[in-house]
A and B are shown apart, each in its own frame.
Chain A
Amino acid sequence: MKPAPFEYERPESLGEAVGLLAEHGEEAKLLAGGQSLVPLLALRLASPSVLIDLNGVRELDHLRLEGDRLAIGAMTRHRDVEEMAELRTRCPMLVEGVSLIGHVTIRNRGTVGGSLAHADPAAEWPSLVLALEGEIDATGPEGVRTIPAEEFFETYFTTALAPDEIVSEVRLRIPESPRVGSCFLELARRHGDFALAGVGALLELDSSGSITDARVTLIGVRDRAVRSSGAESVLVGARPDAEVFAEAAEAIDPEIEPVSDIHGTSEYRRHLAKVLVRRALALATERAGGV
Chain B
Amino acid sequence: MADRRPITLRVNGQELSGSAEPRMTLADFLRDELGLTGTHLGCEHGVCGACTVLMDGRSVRSCLMFAVQAEGHELTTVEGLAAPDGSLSPLQEAFSTNHALQCGFCTPGFLIAVTEYLAEGAPGVDDEATLRARLSGNLCRCTGYQNIVTAVRDAAERMRRSP
Contact residues in A for B5 (Cβ distance below 8 Å): 8
- In angstroms, Cα B159 to Cα A246, docked, is 49
Is B23 on the interface with A (CB-CB < 8 A)? yes
Question: In angstroms, how far is the closest chain A Cβ from the Cβ of B118?
Answer: 13
19 A-B pairs with C-beta separation under 8 A: A6-B22, A6-B23, A7-B3, A7-B22, A8-B68, A35-B61, A38-B45, A41-B23, A42-B25, A42-B44, A42-B45, A53-B69, A105-B59, A105-B61, A106-B61, A108-B59, A109-B58, A109-B64, A192-B136
- The main secondary structure of chain B at its interface with chain A is mixed
Contacts of B1 in A (CB 8 A): 5
Which of B3, B28, B59, B66 is close to A104, meaning CB atoms less than 8 Å apart? B59
Q: Which residues of A contact B69 (CB under 8 A)?
A: 53, 55
**Residue pair A108, B58 in contact (C-beta under 8 Å):** yes
- Flag if B137 contacts A4 (CB, 8 Å): no
Given contacts A1-B44, A102-B137, 9 further A-B contacts (CB under 8 A): A2-B23, A6-B23, A8-B5, A34-B65, A38-B25, A38-B64, A51-B22, A108-B59, A109-B58
Rounded to whole Å, the gap between the CB of B58 and the closest CB of chain A is 4
Q: Which residues of A contact B117 (CB under 8 A)?
A: 104
A residues in contact (CB < 8 Å) with B: 1-8, 10, 34-35, 38-39, 41-43, 51, 53, 55, 79, 102-106, 108-109, 190-192
A102 proximity list for chain B (CB < 8 A): 137
Write out the residue numbers on chain A whose beta carbons fall within 8 Å of the beta carbon of B61: 35, 105-106, 109
The residue of chain A having its C-beta at the shortest distance from the C-beta of B5 within the complex is: A8
A-B contacts at CB below 8 angstroms, number: 85
Please give, as numbers and ranges, the residues of chain A lying within 8 Å of B21 by CB-CB distance: 5
Of chain B, the residue at the smallest CB distance from A103 is: B137
Binding site for A on B (CB under 8 A): 1, 3, 5, 21-23, 25, 28, 43-46, 49, 52, 58-61, 63-66, 68-69, 113, 116-117, 132-134, 136-137
Known: A6-B22, A8-B22, A55-B69. A104 touches B137 (CB 8 A): yes
Quick one: closest B residue to A83, CB to CB? B120
A105 and B45 contacting across the interface, CB-CB below 8 Å: no
B134 partner residues in chain A, CB cutoff 8 A: 104
Q: Given the complex, which residues of B lie within 8 Å of A3, measured CB to CB?
A: 23, 25
Looking at chain A's contact residues, is the secondary structure mostly helix, strand, loop, or mixed?
A: loop
Bound Cα distance A191, B129 (Å): 11
Give the CA-CA distance A63 to B112 in the complex, in Å.
27
CB of A52, distance to nearest CB on chain B (Å): 12
Q: How many angstroms between the C-alpha atoms of A53 and B67 in the bound complex?
A: 12
Q: What is the CA–CA distance of A86 and B49 in the complex, to the nearest angstrom? A: 31
Residues of A within 8 A of B23 (CB): 2-6, 41
Partner of B46, one of A2, A5, A39, A79: A39
CA of A192 to CA of B132, assembled, Å? 11
Whether A108 contacts B44 by the Cβ 8 Å rule is no
| Nearest neighbor of A56 in chain B, beta-carbon distance | B69
Say whether B22 contacts A109, CB under 8 Å: no
Q: In the assembled complex, which residues on chain A have CB atoms less than 8 Å from the CB atom of B28? A: 2
Residue of B at shortest CB range from A41?
B23
Q: Are A106 and B66 in contact (CB under 8 A)?
A: no
* Residues of chain A with a CB closer than 8 A to B3's CB: 5, 7
